[in-house]
Amino acid sequence: MKILDKYILREYIKTFLIIIFAFSVLFLVIDVSDRLPRLLRKGAAIDHILIYFILRIPYLILLSSPVMILLSGLFLMSNLSKFSESIAIRAAGISIFRMVSPLIWFGFIFSLLVLFLGEVVLPKAEEYRQYIYTEKIKNMKVEDKKMRSHIHYLGKDNNLYYIGFFDGYRNVLKIIDITTFDYESGEIKRKIVATNAIWEDDKWHLKNCYIRSFENGSYVDMKYYKSIVIEEVDVTPIDFIKSAKKPLSMNFFELKEYINRLKKVGEKYSKELVELNLKLSFPFSNLIILLFSVPLVSTSSRSRGRGLIFGLGLLVCFLYLSSLRVCQSLGYNGVLSPMFAAWLPNLFFAFIGIYFVIKAEV
């Protein structure tokens, strides 16, 4: 059996490497044709253009990995069926599932590899590509959005915050309004108003601050402070800064930390949460899509259905990627939960793929 496993795996990897090279060249040609005129109009240097397009390769490969892994499987299974090798293998009492088990293991290991590349290689490549495009080609600066206004969010201890303006360059807040209310009764317990706040010694120092106290919804007392530190104000300047990085340029932990920052200041984060779940779900689409190449091995070399199954395999891959984009959009808009939006296509197509594998055994 080891000889058979090595043979199937060797033939599959040979086909897979050829398809990776072909797809990389094809996508680069298309990408260059589309983007090169615009880059030249911006006066980009040749070395910057070359680096820009080379850094696109990890993204293009990872994006098209399900298609490449399915095509490799389809070509291999087609050859096994065409030269009656699959018939000889089954005549020896070897099941289809056992025959393709090396490919299943390859799909699993390749999914882990895609996960690793998506965490380590792709974020660095995309971040540097963005730097090349923005700073070297467009002669602009890549920086976070450090100037914001009209910030609302619910903090800890039922504190409702309103920040009129945030200056991230000087770490200054202006027009601060903090309202503490009773969660059960909805009555105001305390109201803090300050003209501005300065970040010093890792704390916000509120200036010209008025603290009003309430009992049973009625005003009780007011105190004035020229400068005071409110310990429960636990946000930092970095929490208010929106990242200029795209989720694609962040690894899993960076994106998770950024989502926590958005939560802290009451910003919407559904899009980022969908992307966070996709970082885990998308790599395993390679293993799932590979299952759809298995039914081809059970068809006769003279069967007219072989071409149909080959076409259906590609159609399935197209449907999977399309459903992934649809679920992604629904997750962005809150129609589906972020986790459900990221994992639903995997679960649905995994069920269909397993059904086809079982049916091929019959």
Are 6 and 127 members of one domain? yes
Query: Distance between CA 190 and CA 222 in Å, rounded?
Result: 10
Last residue of a domain, one of 194, 218, 239: 239
Q: Does residue 135 sit in the same domain as residue 180?
A: no
Question: What DSSP assignment string belongs to 300-321?
Answer: -TT-THHHHHHHHHHHHHHHHH
User: Facing residues of 197 across strands?
Assistant: 173, 206
Residue 257 placed within a domain: no
> Is residue 54 in some structural domain?
yes
Query: Same domain for 61 and 108?
Result: yes
Q: 225 is in which domain, residue-wise?
A: 147-239
Assess whether 133 and 276 both reside in one domain: yes
pTM score: 0.73
Residues 156, 50 share a domain = no
- 262 part of a folded domain: no
Q: Tokens standing for 321? A: 């990627």
Most confident segment among 8-12, 132-136, 337-341? 337-341
Q: Is 261 contained in some domain?
A: no
At 195 the pLDDT is 92
Compute the mean pLDDT over every residue in the chain, rounded to the nearest whole number: 81
Instruction: Tell me: do 73 and 193 sit in the same domain.
Output: no
128 and 7 inside one domain = yes
Q: Are residues 196 and 297 in the same domain?
A: no
> Do 121 and 165 share a domain, yes or no?
no
Looking at the structure of the chain, the number of domains it has is 2
Q: What is the pLDDT of residues 55-99, one digit of tens each?
A: 888 888 888 888 888 888 878 777 776 666 766 776 666 776 777
Residues 275 and 228 in one domain: no
Q: Once rounded to an integer, what is the mean pLDDT over residues 14-30?
A: 84
Nearest to 360 by CA among 93, 97, 25: 97
Whether residue 10 is found in the same domain as residue 88: yes
Could you tell me if residue 274 is inside a domain? Answer: yes
Domain membership of residue 352 (yes or no) is yes
Tell me, yes or no, whether 89 lies in a domain. Answer: yes
Residue 115 lies in a domain: yes
Is the pLDDT at 303 greater than 60, yes or no?
Answer: no
The pLDDT of residue 361 is 64
